[in-house]
């Protein structure tokens, strides 16, 4: 016999309720050598169990009567050996057990959640007409949202547990609503996909062709502009060269008022392109970023822009989430993240 088995036997001999009483006072000891847990080796006491994270807790009572183990789950007889390892880590007081059996819920229940997840009584709703799922879930969500006022300020662990129950219920209702939304929308999506499959290739191919022609026109207009700029620069260089040559040819000549200079070529805005078919296209010259030569200088220049600040804040948080501790220019704090 192992040391743990001996400990468990000693507990039963001294006081059959001792295991449960100790677990009730300090649940952290459950599973330790002080409060061992073995399959098919139940202990007397009151517990609760739930099968599924979104299911409500059910009260469980286990005791030994004349050498025979008895167990009841929500008033239904079950095998103590089968339910033991599922419920042993959730001991409850006898008063909590009695209240749950009477349908009064649990001390750590949120009232709204308890009311919504309570199994319907037999016969209720059997003769009711068609139920609008959206209206039912809407009513439950509205009731749950009203219950949020109880948790505007949380000051103890018990209230936090109740608030978590309400949060879980709201997430559950959100998931239920989304599943129904997806299910009801699916036939329309399939019909929409069929329409897209027929028409989108035509839309995309024609648009791609139009964009390719637009880009070719843009390349020509850019080339024309560059030629114009080159002509302006050349004319200006020739004018300056002529003036310099004149000064060098007659350095001692009498200075007289120079005649008005010959007008140099003037930059002309691109003219609209007019087609024989369809609308005309306007053309304008736009300065665009060709390349970044100094990222730090650019970042400093843009650092006052709200978009840049949001981006930097996001990147800083990502660095912290990745374990970086040397991010400059920020202050940090420890904040609980509830998931």
| Tens-place pLDDT, residues 226-257 | 999 999 999 999 999 998 888 888 776 665 55
Q: Does the pTM exceed 0.75? A: no
Q: What is the mean pLDDT of residues 310-318?
A: 96
Enclosing H/E stretch for 73: strand 68-73
Range in 261-270, 303-312, 323-332 with the lowest mean pLDDT: 261-270
Is residue 339 a part of any domain in this protein? no
Is residue 112 a part of any domain in this protein? no
pLDDT value, residue 267: 64
pLDDT at 316 over 60: yes
Q: Report the alpha-carbon distance of residue 31 to residue 269 in Å, rounded.
A: 84
pLDDT digits (tens, 9 = 90+) for 140-195: 999 999 999 999 999 998 899 889 989 989 999 999 999 999 999 999 999 999 99
User: Which percentage of the chain shows pLDDT scores above 90?
Assistant: 60
pLDDT digits (tens, 9 = 90+) for 21-52: 999 999 999 999 999 999 889 999 999 998 87
Q: Report the alpha-carbon distance of residue 1 to residue 87 in Å, rounded.
A: 25
Is residue 83 a part of any domain in this protein? yes
pLDDT at 3 over 90: no
More confident residue, 315 or 107: 315
- The total of structural domains in the chain comes to 1
Q: Report the alpha-carbon distance of residue 169 to residue 118 in Å, rounded.
A: 12
Is residue 14 a part of any domain in this protein? yes
Domain around 31: 3-107
Contact 112, 169 (CB under 8 A): yes
Contact 57, 97 (CB under 8 A): no
Q: What is the mean pLDDT of residues 58-75?
A: 94
pLDDT value, residue 1: 46
- Burial of 109 from C-beta contacts in 10 A (0-12 / 13-18 / 19+): buried
pLDDT band of residue 8 (cuts 50, 70, 90) is low
pLDDT value, residue 120: 55
Is residue 103 a part of any domain in this protein? yes
Provide the mean pLDDT of the chain.
Answer: 87
Is residue 27 a part of any domain in this protein? yes
- Burial of 47 from C-beta contacts in 10 A (0-12 / 13-18 / 19+): buried
DSSP per position, 48-69: EE-SSTTSPPEEEEEEEETTEE
Contact 28, 69 (CB under 8 A): no
Is residue 320 a part of any domain in this protein? no
pLDDT band of residue 259 (cuts 50, 70, 90) is low
pLDDT value, residue 21: 95
Is residue 134 a part of any domain in this protein? no
Q: What is the mean pLDDT of residues 92-96?
A: 94
Nearest to 62 by CA among 45, 48, 49, 78: 45
């Amino acid at each position: 016999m192992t040391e743990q088995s001996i400990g468990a036997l000693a507990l039963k001999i001294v006081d059959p309720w001792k295991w449960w009483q100790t677990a009730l006072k300090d649940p952290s000891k459950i599973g330790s050598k002080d409060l061992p847990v073995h399959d098919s080796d139940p202990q007397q006491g009151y517990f609760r169990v739930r099968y599924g994270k979104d299911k409500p807790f059910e009260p469980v009572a286990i005791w030994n009567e004349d050498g025979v183990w008895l167990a009841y789950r929500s008033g239904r007889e079950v095998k103590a050996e089968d339910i033991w390892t599922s419920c042993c880590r959730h001991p409850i007081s006898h008063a909590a057990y009695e209240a749950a059996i009477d349908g009064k819920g649990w001390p750590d229940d949120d009232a709204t959640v308890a009311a919504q997840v309570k199994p319907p009584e037999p016969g209720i709703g059997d003769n009711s007409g068609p139920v609008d799922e959206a209206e039912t879930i809407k009513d439950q969500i509205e009731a749950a949202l009203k219950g949020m006022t109880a948790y505007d300020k949380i000051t103890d662990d018990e209230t936090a547990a109740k608030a978590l129950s309400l949060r879980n219920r709201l997430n559950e209702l959100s998931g239920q609503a989304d599943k129904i939304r997806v299910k009801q929308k699916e036939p329309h999506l399939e019909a929409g996909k069929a329409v897209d499959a027929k028409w989108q290739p035509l839309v995309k191919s024609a648009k791609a062709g139009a964009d390719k022609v637009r880009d070719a026109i843009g390349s020509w207009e850019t080339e024309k502009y560059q030629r114009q700029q080159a002509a302006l620069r050349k004319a200006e260089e020739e004018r300056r060269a002529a003036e310099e040559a004149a000064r060098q040819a007659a350095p001692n000549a009498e200075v007289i008022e120079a005649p008005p200079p010959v007008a140099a070529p003037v930059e002309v805005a691109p003219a609209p392109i007019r087609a024989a078919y369809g609308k005309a296209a306007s053309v304008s010259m736009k300065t665009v970023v060709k390349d970044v030569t100094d990222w730090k200088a650019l970042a400093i220049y843009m650092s006052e822009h709200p978009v840049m600040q949001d981006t930097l804040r996001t990147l800083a948080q990502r660095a912290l989430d990745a374990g970086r501790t040397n991010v400059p220019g920020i202050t940090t704090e420890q904040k609980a993240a509830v998931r």
